[in-house]
Structure 1
Amino acid sequence: MARQNISVTTDCVIFFRNDKESKVLLVKRKKVPFKDQWALPGGFLEDEEPLEDGAKRELEEETGLKVQHLKQLQTFGTPGRDPRGRTISVTYLGEVTSEEKVQGNDDAAEAGWFNINDLPELAFDHSEILEVARIEYFR
């Protein structure tokens, strides 16, 4: 059996909540696949880059948001989750204490906070990732 190339990405689920609502940070993709669809901030890991550093870098590049602490949530690697090829994503969970200003940059056309009970359709398997994150965050 031939060995296939496998890519590694990191994705971030960043929550904000107060007494009235809970929100999650999403980005609108600028490029294919899933161009113009909303997704969790994230992207490909660079060579020699530690996982958490890659997650923080992608989050800042795509939204301008810097976070101090991320918790590794789960790894997602179902074949076909990314139409570009076999991709394994290590996901991270984080929280901010205020609805911080964000702006789409890099390969994100837009960035914004969305009420977790009123979300758009998400790219890739990000709905599944978000559901796992919600269970962990709200337990």
Structure 2
Amino acid sequence: MSRFYPDAPRAGVSVLCHREGRALLIKRGKAPYKDHWSLPGGLIELGETLQEAAARELLEETGVTAALGAPVETFDSIQRDDNGKVATHFILTVFCAAYLSGTPSAGDDAAELDWLLPEELAGRPTTPGTPERIRRLLDAVLARNIPQRQ
């Protein structure tokens, strides 16, 4: 099934990998949202669990592994064309995970990557809702409201 003008929503994952108050973001190398900063992630493959997909996508796009726990949120990402027809529809499940290992390097669909503080997102093009999501989830991590696997 195509990502563009699909006949059903596509299921995907994203990971807010954090280290010392910074989030690991990628600059998307492909549409949708080419050249926008986003959390690493992608589509779930057949037979793959949410957590397996999140770990795989994080590693493929960044070269990093993280302590993945339970998902922290799920949301719809729906974009319509100028005629109002659904151009893309993704159901995304987000994981928040502390960095474990790996040398960050942009790979797969990522054109670039960077460890950013939430305030460093101002002025950068981002995927919809990304800055707010990062602030909210990092605040929860600092307040210890999101359990982190050790």
Indicate whether the TM-score tops 0.5.
yes
Aligned to 1:76: 75
Cα distance in 1 for residues equivalent to 2:36 and 2:9: 24
Deviation, structure 1 residue 93: 0.4
Structure 1: runs of 5 or more not aligned: none
Cα distance in 2 for residues equivalent to 1:86 and 1:9: 10
Deviation, structure 1 residue 87: 1.1
> How does 1:1-139 map onto structure 2 within 5 Å?
4-17=7-20, 22-77=21-76, 79-80=78-79, 84-96=87-99, 101-119=103-121, 120-139=124-143
| Partners of 2:118 and 2:135 within 8 A in 1 | no
Deviation, structure 1 residue 72: 1.2
Cα distance in 2 for residues equivalent to 1:115 and 1:44: 26
Structure 2: runs of 5 or more not aligned: 1-6, 81-85, 144-150
Deviation, structure 1 residue 96: 2.2
**Following superposition, which runs of at least 4 residues in structure 1 exceed 4 angstroms of deviation?**
none
Deviation, structure 1 residue 132: 3.3
Deviation, structure 1 residue 12: 0.3
- Encode CA deviations 1:65-84: one digit per residue, 9 max, x unaligned: 01243331111125449x74
Cα distance in 1 for residues equivalent to 2:87 and 2:55: 23
| Partners of 1:9 and 1:90 within 8 A in 2 | yes
The percent of aligned pairs where both chains have the same amino acid is 28
- Give the length in aligned residue pairs: 130
| Partners of 1:71 and 1:94 within 8 A in 2 | no
Cα distance in 2 for residues equivalent to 1:47 and 1:128: 31
Deviation, structure 1 residue 110: 1.2
Deviation, structure 1 residue 129: 2.6
Instruction: Assess, with a 3 A threshold, how the Cα gap between structure 1 residues 33 and 95 changes in structure 2: closer, same or farther.
Output: same
Deviation, structure 1 residue 47: 0.9
Q: RMSD of aligned C-alpha atoms?
A: 2.2
> 2:125 corresponds to which letter in structure 1?
E
> 2:136 corresponds to which letter in structure 1?
V
